Amino acid sequence: MSALPASSTSSVPEPSSSTSVSTTLRPDSIGTVGVTATVISAAAPLTVMAGVAPIALAIGGVGVPGAYLLAGAVLAVFAIGFTAMAAQIRRTGGFFVYIGHAFGGTAGFAAAVLAIVSYNLLQIGVYGLFGIQTRAALDDLFGVTAPWWVISAIAVVVVFILGALGIDVGAKVLVVLITLESAILAIMGIAIVVQGGAEGLGAASFDPSNVFQSGVLAVLGICFAAFMGFESTALYRAEARDPARTIPRATYAAVGFMALFYCFITWTVVQALGEAGVQGGAGKQGAALFFATIHQYVGAWAEHAMYVLIVTSVYASQLAFHNAINRYVFGMAESGALPRVFARTNRAGSPAFAGAVQSLLAITVVLVFGLAGLDPFQDLVIKVNTPGVIGVILLQALVAAAAVAFFLRRRGMPRRVFLTSSSVVAAGLMAWVIYVVVKHIEVLTGAPKAINDVLVAIVPATLLLGVVGGLVLRRVRPETIALLARDDAGTELPE
């Protein structure tokens, strides 16, 4: 692909091709399988199962598998309007593009600020988990101990390098990693079913009285967090083959796979513990639950393999979120809402400058937490991730509301009534999820009320800051705000 020189709109002579600066993502780089693998990797199935599901089982008990299925169903309803709207809007940028189209450029700018902050909180926070899991794997396999923050800092660099090589290279790596981590969980689950679990197989996990009891609702935020990143399918529209088909297919495939897979795996672990002893068994074994279970039902080799694959699972998640964040930033810069330098792409068609800045931020946070002696799980993973989770769910609710406005204005659109109705339902469901998550936030954080109040307040404060920034931008650069509110990929970008 030929590069687009930065000076092509000015009177300065065009630079030679060797020094030209591209601001174009590489089209036709990734298909349905690649997009699906990328967004599933962001959710990190092995990590959310082995690393987080034991907490949900210890608190929610036998109904947790049904809660994962419930979360998937809610997100599938959200995906109906989301993917239909994405098919009509060509611009790269994800949530902020759709919100801007429905509610105006200022709202779009505010949504972009919230999205960039939320995804960074999710991605950077998980580096704490990467350090913990890699340290555990090194100890299990080689008896080697290393500081978690050194491991995480190295990972930041490796994530940046692979991200800079292009979405097609990253997608191929993610397909391999997601296949391996899913396979080890599937082997465990099948072994449990074949051996009949601890007391025979049962279906109590799907009894509504078990799914909708208070303990399960308290961990609903954990269940929804397991799907984080699925909506980033739309961020790869400019790089996808036949995006009108690829993006919807990848979105539904990702949601469907995760909902069924999470449900199946947690159900098999319930069977391994026995339906009557789920909470006690999960609470007693804690983070060792999945490792002990696979050791018992499959063998020691599988336990060692799981230690390795959980490291690659977290790495895959970091790469997927890194790519998503960079494309959010690229979309903002492409619209003129951020400096144009963030829209620069390298020869692989990757927004490498945005990636470098994001990686610098990540490594700075990791080093600060490490050198300050803060806990990588409680302080970095939990407290940094929590406002990110709430921020993304809020964005999903806003996008569902945006879809309602979008379809109401397009009277000639096929299936308009169905799309509008499903979006209304999705907006209501997402609002309910936010209420439940905030109400039970202490389950996610284990922190005192004062800290929880601060963590929750970060989300509306960020959105408000985005609104103020959007209003300022509307005053000083109205053409940029106007661009955020329409889909005009051929419009000359403001300098």
Return d(Cα 217, Cα 60) in angstroms, integer.
8
Can you state the angle between helices 167-195 and 243-273, rounded to 10 degrees? 30
Q: Closest by alpha carbon to 374, among 125, 63, 177?
A: 125
Is the predicted pLDDT of residue 110 greater than 50, yes or no?
yes
Higher pLDDT: 312 or 5? It is: 312
Average pLDDT, stretch 281-296? 93
Return d(Cα 492, Cα 495) in angstroms, integer.
9
- Tell me how many degrees the CA angle 446-450-456 measures, rounded to the nearest 5: 80
Give me the half-sphere count of Cα atoms (radius 13 Å) on the Cβ side of residue 199: 11
Give me the half-sphere count of Cα atoms (radius 13 Å) on the Cβ side of residue 424: 8
- 6 in Cβ contact with 340 (< 8 Å): yes
Average pLDDT, stretch 103-125? 93
Is the predicted pLDDT of residue 488 greater than 50, yes or no?
no
What Å distances lie between residue 175 and 36, 42, 167, 296, CA to CA?
9, 12, 12, 28
* 402: confidence class by pLDDT, cuts 50, 70, 90: very high
Q: Per-domain residue ranges for the chain? A: 32-484
pLDDT at residue number 11: 35
Return d(Cα 384, Cα 152) in angstroms, integer.
15
pLDDT at residue number 345: 87
pLDDT at residue number 229: 74
CB atoms under 10 Å from CB of 127, counted, come to 29
CB atoms under 10 Å from CB of 383, counted, come to 23
Cross-strand partners of 22: 345
Q: Which of 85-89, 195-199, 350-354, 386-390 has the lowest mean pLDDT?
A: 85-89
Is the predicted pLDDT of residue 243 greater than 80, yes or no?
no
pLDDT at residue number 238: 66
Average pLDDT, stretch 297-311? 93
Higher pLDDT: 329 or 172? It is: 329
Q: Closest by alpha carbon to 53, among 315, 254, 278, 385?
A: 278
Distance from the Cα of residue 350 to its chain's centroid: 19
- 301 in Cβ contact with 309 (< 8 Å): no
Burial of 373 from C-beta contacts in 10 A (0-12 / 13-18 / 19+) = exposed
- Two tokens at 346? 């390298």
Is the predicted pLDDT of residue 8 greater than 80, yes or no?
no
pLDDT at residue number 173: 77
Is the predicted pLDDT of residue 136 greater than 90, yes or no?
no
32-484: which CATH architecture?
Up-down Bundle (1.20)
Return d(Cα 393, Cα 390) in angstroms, integer.
5
Question: What percent of the chain is predicted at pLDDT more than 90?
Answer: 53
CB atoms under 10 Å from CB of 132, counted, come to 23
Q: Closest by alpha carbon to 88, among 487, 423, 395?
A: 487
pLDDT at residue number 164: 86
pLDDT at residue number 359: 96
Distance from the Cα of residue 40 to its chain's centroid: 8
Return d(Cα 83, Cα 369) in angstroms, integer.
38
Average pLDDT, stretch 221-241? 77
Q: Which of 240-254, 306-320, 436-450, 455-469 has the lowest mean pLDDT?
A: 240-254
Q: Under DSSP, is residue 345 helix (H, G, I), strand (E, B) or coil? A: strand
- Two tokens at 93? 């940028």
Q: Which helix (H) or strand (E) holds 140?
A: helix 105-142
Higher pLDDT: 416 or 491? It is: 416
Is the predicted pLDDT of residue 10 greater than 50, yes or no?
no
* 387: confidence class by pLDDT, cuts 50, 70, 90: very high
- 95 in Cβ contact with 233 (< 8 Å): no
Average pLDDT, stretch 222-231? 84
Is the predicted pLDDT of residue 489 greater than 70, yes or no?
no
Is the predicted pLDDT of residue 237 greater than 90, yes or no?
no
pLDDT at residue number 235: 67
Question: What percent of the chain is predicted at pLDDT more than 70?
Answer: 88
Average pLDDT, stretch 282-293? 92
* 242: confidence class by pLDDT, cuts 50, 70, 90: confident
Highest mean pLDDT among 170-179, 344-353, 385-394: 385-394
pLDDT at residue number 13: 39
Main-chain phi, psi angles of 268, to 5 degrees: -65, -35
* 175: confidence class by pLDDT, cuts 50, 70, 90: confident
Is the predicted pLDDT of residue 261 greater than 90, yes or no?
yes
- 122 in Cβ contact with 228 (< 8 Å): yes
What Å distances lie between residue 278 and 56, 142, 274, 404, 443, CA to CA?
10, 32, 6, 41, 18
Q: Which string of b and e fits 277-311 if b means at least 16 CB within 10 Å?
A: ebbebbeebebebbbebbbbbbeeebbbbbbbbbb
- Two tokens at 237? 């529209």
- Two tokens at 119? 């995804």
Higher pLDDT: 228 or 400? It is: 400
What Å distances lie between residue 397 and 88, 100, 392, 431, CA to CA?
19, 14, 9, 6
Higher pLDDT: 324 or 61? It is: 61
Higher pLDDT: 304 or 167? It is: 304
pLDDT at residue number 485: 75
What Å distances lie between residue 101 and 75, 94, 356, 395, 466, CA to CA?
22, 11, 29, 14, 16
**Residue at 184: amino acid letter:** I
Highest mean pLDDT among 174-178, 190-194, 323-327: 190-194
Mean pLDDT of the chain: 86
Average pLDDT, stretch 49-54? 90
Is the predicted pLDDT of residue 80 greater than 70, yes or no?
yes
Cross-strand partners of 216: none
Q: Which of 7-21, 90-104, 467-481 has the lowest mean pLDDT?
A: 7-21
Is the predicted pLDDT of residue 190 greater than 70, yes or no?
yes
Is the predicted pLDDT of residue 3 greater than 60, yes or no?
no
Is the predicted pLDDT of residue 14 greater than 70, yes or no?
no
* 495: confidence class by pLDDT, cuts 50, 70, 90: very low
* 332: confidence class by pLDDT, cuts 50, 70, 90: confident
